[in-house]
Chains A and B, each alone.
Chain A
Amino acid sequence: MTTPRDIHAYLAEFEDIPGTRVYTAKRARKGYHLNQFAMSLMKPENRARFKADEAAYLDEWKLTPAQRAAVLARDYNAMLDEGGNIYFMAKLFSTDGQSFLQAVGTMTGMSTEDYQAMMVAGGRSPDGVRSRREQAALAAVADAASEITNTPVPDGAADEERR
């Protein structure tokens, strides 16, 4: 017996994870040609043709303008937004001679050195990046707290306190 699951609730939960694009069917459909383009780079002859003229090679694939721009710019966050999956995109950064560590680091906004140093120091803590809802709730509490501390205490209330 397996537990019955509601596919809508199952998928909705993934959107609550900050800084993460889960490779759902929706993304897989959007990125089909982008991912298949990347797969073509597993063949040495295709890698050579791609390196010789990237734009011409990309013309052979049914990419959207956004997908094409993301590939040419090596903007991995944008590629993932356009339905790319990291294991497929790995064929592109491998063609560029980049490692997973180098390519993945580019998505964090950190320099390669800082990202590698973070990993050596034990990686990124999950604290504070588990849930958007949790982040929003904490932000609301912080806002409320700063409002309280920044609100001038009315004279009357201050008098009350002194008594």
Chain B
Amino acid sequence: MARITAGIATSHIPAVGAAIDNGKTADPYWAPVFAGYDFARAFEREEKPDVVILVYNDHASAFDMTFIPTFAIGCAEEFAPADEGWGPRPVPVVKGHPDLAWHIAQSLILDEFDMTIINAMDVDHGLTVPMSLMFGQPEAWPVRVVPLAVNVVTYPPPSGNRCWQLGEAIARAVESFEEDLNVQIWGTGGMSHQLQGPRAGLINKPWDTAFLDALTADPEMLRHKPHIDYLREAGSEGIELVMWLIMRGALGPSVRELHRFYHVPASNTAVGHIVLRPAPEQATSP
């Protein structure tokens, strides 16, 4: 039986991908950023996940204004890195897991989540930068990936609560997949950043820290946080953090924090990263 064994969240800043691709990870500006991922790289070598359900948002790469799916699941055999205007990133093609992806898609629809199914899609920095952060620069990625794209560009994006519920439904779907698979779920994007207008450059470390704390201490509060709070406090692009709640919802009621990293800045953005393990259900008293 397939099972979700860990949840990882990370920012997916394009400049981080460019730093890796251009061999700048040891530069003084970038070195502290990449040091924050040493734990996760070792963790992944140890854990050897078979599949990652990678929650991310497309940044006007695969989806333009012609189609705007709120929740889309990638069911293809493979996904090529997108050309976002400067040529595709020189990273391996992402191999999908169509059997698991279709199983999840069908299960979610029965579970009343009306998914958009994608059979051909390029994946942009939102998906490939987290892959590079966790796995470096291999010839081929060591995991298969089920891309789960969330609209956080055109308003309204899904609510935090809806994201949480989708995570719970994904966990149910994974548990009912017959093959024995070690599955991780990643939530990406964030943390505080604003990429537009006179308020660009906004960073809110206290708010980000409270968000990271609440993932273990008070997820119920995060579930019900309205969009306006993200926008005011974490900047217009801070709304990406609702995607972390899909990851968190999939891990069950309680989790253990294995690692956390926070750094300002990478480009315009606060880098946030956390590794979580689902905690065993508390034994209920007879």
Contacts and interface: CB of A to CB of B under 8 A. Distances in A.
B60 A39 contact: yes
B128 to A, nearest CB: 15
**Interface size of B as a range:** 35 or more
B85 A47 contact: yes
A25 interface: yes
Given A19-B197, A20-B197, A123-B264, A32 B65 contact: yes
21 contacts: A10-B156, A20-B199, A21-B196, A35-B65, A44-B83, A77-B197, A85-B153, A91-B85, A92-B85, A104-B268, A108-B197, A108-B199, A119-B264, A119-B267, A120-B265, A122-B265, A123-B264, A124-B203, A125-B204, A126-B207, A129-B199
Interface of A: 2-3, 7, 10-11, 13-14, 17-25, 28, 32, 35-36, 38-39, 41-44, 47, 76-77, 80, 85-88, 90-95, 97, 99-101, 104-105, 107-109, 115, 118-120, 122-126, 129-131
Given A90-B84, A99-B267, A126 B204 contact: yes
- Looking at A25, A90, A119, which has the most chain B CB atoms within 10 Å of its CB? A119
- Tell me the interface secondary structure of chain B in the complex: loop
Interface of B: 14-15, 18, 59-61, 64-66, 82-87, 153-156, 159, 161-162, 192, 194-205, 207, 224, 227-228, 231-233, 236-237, 264-265, 267-268, 270
Nearest to B13: A100
A123 B15 contact: no
A44 B65 CA distance: 20
A24 B266 CA distance: 27
A20 to B, nearest CB: 5
B15 A109 contact: no
A99 B15 contact: yes
Given A85-B60, A87-B60, A22 B201 contact: no
Given A2-B162, A85-B153, A107 B197 contact: yes
Given A14-B228, A39-B64, A104-B196, A87 B153 contact: yes
